[in-house]
Amino acid sequence: MADYQTITFRQEGAKAYLTFNRPQVLNALNNQLIAESLDAVRNLPGETRVLIVRGAGKAFAAGADLEEMQRRTPWNEIDFGARRELARRLETAPFPTVAAINGYALGGGLELALACHLRIASATAKVGLPETRIGILPANGGTARLTRLVGRGRAMRMILLAEHVDATEAERLGIVDWVVEPEDFDVEVEIIADKLSKLASVSARAIIDTVSRSADMTIDHAIDYEHRWFQICLGSADKQEGVKAFLEKRKPQFGAEAGKHSF
């Protein structure tokens, strides 16, 4: 990995950790941070089976860097480039991606968290899309992904009124999947990362793909698509190991080879 200045990255076996590291500005997302994050995600080791994304200090990421925003025009970011690619890669990764929200996740920060497959939040976290306060709108999947999670009416309310919601309300609405006390946060993140890293790779990839696509399919098409992945799983070494381990009353030891990816 490169010598990054605005993020940190570490790999522990099958677990990868990407941390936004501009705590002095609550991890505001400038172009350098986005570029470095994208480079790290593009070059994840092939053995990666779970990616944890989090922020250093008191925030996950408190939105875009507003000083830099002043210089952005319709023409120098006409397709949102690296920001869109980073979110898309988090969303389409062939292994679980987890946003560990330890503080504020606002604007573009929440958009990146929404692109992850799962979200765990500290009880002190606050999330929101406050773009209307500066005369713009969420433009990296915020309107699309939030609407799919909370419904049209609540998404309209949160975005139009630039509402911040606390972790408990975010869990109730389905924006985050777990809320834990601050003193337990790091331990719980590690427990979840460890569990996800031990899943059968083909099975995890199948679940991510089928769940992600099913909302845009008819029920019959979704079930057919699900069954095609089931057939692939039936032919995997991990399925053989899983069944054998169950019959032998032991924990399965799923192989990492099937999890090698070009991502």
Burial per residue of 15-32, b for 16 or more beta-carbon CB atoms within 10 angstroms, e otherwise = bbbbbbbbeebbbbbbbe
Distance from CA of residue 212 to its chain's centroid? Answer: 13
Catalytic residue, chosen from 47, 131, 241, 257, is 131
Report the C-alpha gap between 13 and 4 in whole angstroms: 20
Clarify whether 77 is annotated catalytic: no
Clarify whether 163 is annotated catalytic: no
Q: Which amino acid is at 134?
A: I
Catalytic residue, chosen from 111, 190, 226, 248, is 111
> What is the DSSP annotation of the chain?
----SSEEEEEETTEEEEEE--GGGTT-B-HHHHHHHHHHHHT--TT--EEEEEESTTEEEESB-HHHHTT--TTTTTT-HHHHHHHHHHHH-SS-EEEEE-SEEETHHHHHHHHSSEEEEETT-EEE--GGGGT----SSHHHHHHHHH-HHHHHHHHHTT-EEEHHHHHHHTS-SEEE-GGGHHHHHHHHHHHHHTS-HHHHHHHHHHHHHHTTS-HHHHHHHHHHHHHHHHTSHHHHHHHHHHHTTS-----SGGG----
Catalytic residues: 111, 131
